[in-house]
């Protein structure tokens, strides 16, 4: 019966690495390009979209909690009032 040999014995591994180095082989040229392995499953894409939604929702909540929406809203109303006054003034001059 054959004796059990270690499939990744140190001597064999070192010999293989030495042969690869001696052949001056670029392993990157042998491997498939990354873009081929970047294909995401529908579940991964769904998770990515969920993370993006959470980031956007947190950003919106931060804006709301800072009172930025109310400040911008009151600023818009002030500008609208100024423009309406200007419009009335221009209409009365005609």
Stronger pLDDT, 64 or 52, i.e. the higher one: 52
- CB 40 within 8 Å of CB 48: yes
Give the per-residue pLDDT at 4: 63
Measured at the CA of 41, the angle between CA 36 and CA 44, to 5 degrees, comes to: 115
The count of residues in the chain is: 94
**Segment of 11-20, 54-63, 81-90 carrying the highest mean pLDDT:** 81-90
The predicted model scores a pTM of: 0.38
Ramachandran quadrant class, 41 (left: phi over 0; alpha: psi -120 to 50; beta: rest): beta
pLDDT of 3 strictly over 60:
no
Find, among 56, 75, 33, the residue nearest to 64 by Cα: 56
How much is the average pLDDT of 28-47? Answer: 76
């Amino acid at each position: 019966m054959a004796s059990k040999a270690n499939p990744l014995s140190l001597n064999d591994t070192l010999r293989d690495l030495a042969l690869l180095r001696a052949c001056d082989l670029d392993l990157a040229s042998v491997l498939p390009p990354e873009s081929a392995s970047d294909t995401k499953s529908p579940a991964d894409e769904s998770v990515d979209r969920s993370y993006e939604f959470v980031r956007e929702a947190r950003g919106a909540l931060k804006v709301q909690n800072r009172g930025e929406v109310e400040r911008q809203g009151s600023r818009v109303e002030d500008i609208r009032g100024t423009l309406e006054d200007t419009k009335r003034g221009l209409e009365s001059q005609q």
